[in-house]
């Protein structure tokens, strides 16, 4: 599989192309290659859409395997983060959340009341807390 450095999809990510005319990396993912082939051949899906889906799947497989050029990918950090929902999922009070993850209680309250929104680095940090709070706790204990 080849990552083209000269072509980008509508998402801005590098397109992934198989090195031969086969179904590329998808052939090694059980059940996926057969479903893509079936979709392309007759389920009424246009060739362009099916090709885009196939490329996206191959790109995802390459990325998951560590074969894609990670420098071509950007991290998406949403503009709005629901801080209250993150804290609630963790079952923590405002005080405990602030103390555990290094925020001031006042800042946390402002975010939760919608008076302010977390800025870029804080949004990214909150995403990491949301996705893997234990990893953040371990990292902060080691510091």
* Structural domain spans, the chain: 2-72, 83-142
pLDDT tens digit sequence for 7-33: 444 444 444 444 444 444 445 554 444
Q: What is the CA radius of gyration of the chain?
A: 21
- Residue 69, CA atoms < 13 Å, CB-side half-sphere: 13
pLDDT in tens, 99-139: 999 999 999 999 999 999 999 899 999 999 999 999 999 99
What are the strands, taking DSSP E only, across the chain?
2-8, 14-17
Token pair for 27: 């052939």
Q: 44-82, pLDDT tens digit by residue?
A: 566 788 888 888 888 888 877 888 777 777 777 888 899
- Which residues 6+ apart lie within 8 Å of 87 measured at CB? 94, 97, 108, 112
Q: 39: closest CA among 23, 25, 28?
A: 23
Task: Name which residue leads in pLDDT, 14 or 143.
Answer: 143
In this structure, which topology does domain 83-142 adopt according to CATH? Answer: 434 Repressor (Amino-terminal Domain) (1.10.260)
């Amino acid at each position: 599989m080849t990552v083209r450095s000269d072509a980008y999809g509508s998402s801005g990510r590098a397109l992934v192309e198989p090195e031969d005319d086969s179904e590329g990396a998808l052939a090694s993912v059980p059940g996926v290659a057969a479903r893509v082939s079936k979709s392309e051949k007759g389920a009424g899906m246009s060739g362009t859409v099916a090709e885009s889906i196939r490329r996206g799947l191959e790109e995802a497989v390459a990325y998951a395997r560590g074969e894609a050029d990670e420098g071509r990918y950007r991290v998406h950090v949403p503009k709005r983060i629901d801080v209250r929902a993150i804290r609630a999922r963790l079952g923590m009070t405002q005080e405990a959340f602030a103390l555990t993850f290094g925020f001031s209680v006042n800042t946390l309250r402002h975010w939760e009341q919608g008076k302010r929104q977390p800025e870029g680095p804080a949004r990214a940090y909150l995403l990491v807390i949301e996705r893997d709070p234990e990893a953040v706790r371990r990292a902060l204990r080691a510091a």
